[in-house]
Amino acid sequence: MFSNKDIAQFAQLETPFYYYDLSLLQETLSSCAAAAKVYHFHVHYAMKANFNDTLLKKIRETGFGADCVSGNEVKKAIEMGFSAGQVVFAGVGKSDREINYALDQDIFCFNVESVQELEVINELALQKGKKVKVAIRINPNVDAHTHHNITTGLDENKFGVNSWDLPACAEMLKKCTALEFVGIHFHIGSQITNLDVYKNLCVRVNEFAQWFEERGYLVRVLNVGGGLGIDYHNPDQQIPDFEAYFKIFNDFLDVRSNQEVHFELGRALVGQSSSLISKVLYVKNGKKKNFIILDAGMTELMRPALYQAYHQIENISKKGQEVNFKYDVVGPICESTDCFGKEVALQETLRGDLIAIRSTGAYGEVMASHYNLRENVSVVFSEEN
């Protein structure tokens, strides 16, 4: 991924920093848009993956909507020029303040996750004299076959309305005069690489759509969420197979002529577009372990500490040299979990070498913290904004 010119440039910059390849980002966005257009599918970008302004501008220009899970994400989407008519607001714990803000913006839809939330949104909408579109997020009890910390569609998860609560949900919709039911919403997890999982989801979507239609509800929107993964082990295989992904839903969803199919993709769009570039501060060689201590830590990239996420680690200062050492690659934070990888095979590494931690475009920069009074992580782009 990195040319000698890139590496020479990195050596002149203060580390750590996130490096964004904007040409790869644009290629990925264009690939997704072209694949979705074949089936007239609607794509909303999951803003929680990365809300860097430069990335959001390119995503908006591609024509995607915004999938938001907080009031501030809704606000950010509006400020960045996303059409309110393409903004959806999900989240299991929307506050009154957040709901009121979204109501004032006349967003496309609230994805509602409980019977009580229907009541609250209805009450707040009545106070404003507004009619508001809602979709019911249903927990389909589909196993995403991913890490348990990023699974969201099982009965044991906090997200969505469980199937046994749907009758109460349907009754509440009849009582809430300020609400307009437009469809159903699902999201079963993140970093899904087995596309057969989505076949199982389609079966459940078809069942739940029929359930609502049998009770007289018009289901205009089938929102199947996102969760499409990327290949962290092969970061140079950079663009997901969007054609295969969308074809699954075209083949297995029962879509009526008056229905729209919506998606909420995040990681798949931005994940491979960035690497965290760090410098080796110290090398500690021991009897049992060799450690590389970087100037980046879990404060810059939380995923490995949070749920043992894998990222490929490369010594780009020694590109092309023989790989014959193994190191635990760690950061400077005062926590034992501040570790990016154990027994990582690398070239002999020295103080001052540049290390690239790949595939950090999703849930990297946005999860950075100031723990240990760390400064904001810097950002570098491959071209001018």
Specify burial of residue 201 (Cβ count, 10 A radius: 0-12, 13-18, 19+).
Answer: buried
d(CA 296, CA 375): 11
Percent of the chain surpassing pLDDT 70: 95
For residue 184, count other CB atoms closer than 10 A to its CB: 25
Contact between residue 225 and residue 264 where contact means Cβ atoms under 8 Å apart: yes
Specify burial of residue 155 (Cβ count, 10 A radius: 0-12, 13-18, 19+).
Answer: exposed
The confidence band for 383, taking pLDDT boundaries of 50, 70 and 90, is confident
CATH of domain 23-271: 3.20.20.10
Q: What are phi and psi of 341, to 5 degrees?
A: -175, 145
Alpha helices by DSSP H, listed for 112-221, are: 115-128, 166-175, 196-214
Contact between residue 361 and residue 270 where contact means Cβ atoms under 8 Å apart: yes
Provide the pLDDT for residue 158: 52
Residues 6+ apart with CB under 8 A from 12: none
pLDDT single digits (tens) 269-309 = 999 999 999 999 999 987 889 999 999 999 999 999 998 99
Contact between residue 279 and residue 294 where contact means Cβ atoms under 8 Å apart: yes
Residue type, 26: Q
d(CA 371, CA 143): 34
- The secondary element (H helix, E strand) that includes residue 345 is strand 339-346
| 8-state DSSP, 142 | -
- Candidates 222, 234, 140; CA nearest to 193 is 234
Contact between residue 115 and residue 168 where contact means Cβ atoms under 8 Å apart: yes
Provide the pLDDT for residue 149: 42
Give the angle 9-10-12 at the CA atoms, nearest 5°: 70
Contact between residue 382 and residue 67 where contact means Cβ atoms under 8 Å apart: no
d(CA 121, CA 117): 6
Task: Give the predicted TM-score (pTM) of the model.
Answer: 0.93
d(CA 191, CA 189): 7
Provide the pLDDT for residue 159: 59
pLDDT single digits (tens) 148-170 = 444 443 445 555 788 888 999 99
pLDDT single digits (tens) 99-158 = 999 999 999 999 999 999 999 999 999 999 999 999 999 988 775 444 444 444 344 555
CATH number for 4-17+272-381 (one of 1.20.120.790, 3.60.20.40, 3.30.700.30, 2.40.37.10): it is 2.40.37.10
Q: Domain boundaries in the chain? A: 4-17+272-381, 23-271
| 8-state DSSP, 86 | G
